[in-house]
A and B are shown apart, each in its own frame.
Chain A
Amino acid sequence: MIEQLHQRAVAIRQILRKHPKRGADLLMNFARRFAANPQVEDDVILYKVRLSSVLSTAEKQDVIDQMEQIVDAIVRDYNPDAVKAHIEKESALAQVIRRQLPPDDLVLTAKNIVKRYASSDFTLRLDHLELRLGQITGLVGENATGKTTLIRILAGDLATDSGTLQYPLFDPENKLDWPQLKEQIAYVPQELPRWHGALRDNLSYEAALHGIKGTENRKAVDYIVQRLGLALHLDKDWTELSGGYKLRFALAKALVWKAKLLIIDEPLAFLDVKTQLVVLNDLQNLAKSLRHPMAVIISSQHLHETESVADQMLFMRDGQLENLGKTIDLGAKRKENTFELDCPANYSELQQALENFPYFQIWNNGMQWIITTPLSASGSDLLQHLSVHGINVYYYRDLSRSVKTKFYEGNL
């Protein structure tokens, strides 16, 4: 073991000199696993933070030297018993405070919902839907298929023609007292309503509307402002905020009173990629909070991003809602694999390259090639085969377990 540790240390030292940031990552992992003193890992993290700042060559070399000394110290002081004792101590501490995951209480249930519009022949139909605490539900589908209609029904914004809608957590006796019920539902529509005054006052007002007053009100506002990173924008009004911050503020208004049901229509529509990730990450972490879990339903055209955070997926087509079940089970019963790729080859070149490859179909969606294969042919098999035949793939995605295949059903 000591010999392996020495070899690893030599490798980390070399990488530190050539690629300091990469070396620091390796050293952090090395310290986490082998340092007898747990403070060493934190020291490495702080050196890595320093490396990310603007440094002169001499300062940078000084940081690298310090990290090399840490490598030496880890090897010199390595004591398997101390490392084991530290791991056991931390595990024991974690057990002391270990909390059960919160129960996934039923927040909303909808059965046999039908909604017709007199002005058109559109009809929305939903057989069965459940939303639970701690879960995110993704609602996707083509444009004008009824996503917003469904969202508005669940938010109590639109009446149904028939069917059952229940909110067991807020309304156990199923009285459907809508004014009272809607106070429990946080609804963020696609077109955010304009507000007046500064963010701080609006958040405080929203919390007060839900009975949070005095010190608790200030604390609730402070918490959500810090949590959603709104501190630098608190005194701004509507006209001074970007689309991303308007959405974050709308979320803050919903979260400041600890809503248990958040219904959010197309939150990603006008956000840049980085902000989309931040918003989705926030929703995921906040929904799964141990102390204040909530049920979240998001409608979106951003399929992959929504799938990446959703626990269950819904697909809407021509007003008919299809409940696809748990996201991790998507495609589990599929009969073929589906791959999406982009390459400079045309149809006949691609067909020729795949002559001896077991594919079912090649189809172009207008932008990329969609290739279906038997389950026995994997994505890496396909890429390797194309590479061997001189086709350079510069975009690839395995759709086999993605809701995106639903959009191609008529074509494949």
Chain B
Amino acid sequence: MIPANDILGRRNEIKDCIAADNMDEAMRRLIDFIRDFFESMEDEVLLLSRDYHAVLKMERMRLEPIEQIERLKGHIANRVLATLKAALHQIEHS
């Protein structure tokens, strides 16, 4: 297991989860990552998680065509990657 204080290792783990199509795990690890290192971004990440679960709900209830669901999931993946980047930029700018 990557040590809890290895920030780059933990970021890469999240990216690996997305690439492995394991978005549930990526989201859980993102929440832990932000809580441990970037507390000020916690609300933003919880909102992202809510949006992700809303997409899962649409998928489960077949509220949208599969193409649209997949597009939305891709969009969530993009937002997770952008959040990781923004978190590191936050240190740079501070």
Contact = CB atoms under 8 A, between A and B. Distances in A.
A285 B28 contact: yes
A58 interface: no
A25 B85 CA distance: 20
A229 interface: yes
Interface in A33-89: 41-42, 44-46, 48-50, 52-54
B56 interface: yes
B15 A46 contact: no
B15 A45 contact: yes
B86 interface: no
Nearest to A231: B53
Contacts of B81: 42, 45-46
Given A94-B8, A288-B4, A49 B73 contact: yes
Interface string B72-85: 01100110010001
Contacts of B18: 45, 49
B24 interface: yes
Greatest chain B CB density within 10 A among A32, A101, A229 is at: A229
B53 A229 contact: yes
A291 B36 contact: yes
B35 A285 contact: no
B4 A284 contact: no
B63 interface: no
Contacts of A231: 49-50, 53
A118 interface: no
Interface string B1-26: 10111111000100100110100110
Contacts of A285: 28-29, 32
Instruction: Tell me the interface secondary structure of chain A in the complex.
Output: helix
A12 B19 CA distance: 17
A227 B28 contact: yes
Chain A: interface size category: 35 or more
B2 to A, nearest CB: 10
Contacts, number: 106
Contacts of B67: 54
Interface in B41-84: 42, 46, 49-50, 53, 56-57, 60, 66-67, 70, 73-74, 77-78, 81
A223 B41 CA distance: 12
A96 B46 CA distance: 25
B46 A223 contact: yes
Contacts of A99: 5, 36-37
A203 to B, nearest CB: 14
Contact of B57 (A90, A232, A286, A288): A232
A33 to B, nearest CB: 12
Interface string A268-288: 000000000010011011101
B8 A290 contact: no
Contacts of A24: 19
A351 to B, nearest CB: 41
A49 B19 contact: yes
B77 A49 contact: yes
Nearest to A229: B24
A389 B6 CA distance: 47
B91 A97 contact: yes
B60 A232 contact: yes
Greatest chain B CB density within 10 A among A32, A49, A93, A281 is at: A49
Nearest to A226: B49
Q: Return the 6 tightest CB-CB contacts between A and B, nearest first.
A: A53-B70, A231-B53, A226-B49, A290-B36, A52-B21, A42-B81
22 contacts: A42-B15, A42-B81, A46-B77, A46-B78, A49-B21, A53-B70, A54-B67, A90-B8, A90-B88, A93-B88, A96-B91, A99-B5, A226-B27, A226-B53, A227-B31, A229-B24, A231-B53, A281-B25, A288-B1, A288-B4, A289-B32, A291-B36
Interface of A: 24-25, 28, 32, 41-42, 44-46, 48-50, 52-54, 90-91, 93-94, 96-101, 134, 222-223, 226-227, 229, 231-232, 278, 281-282, 284-286, 288-292
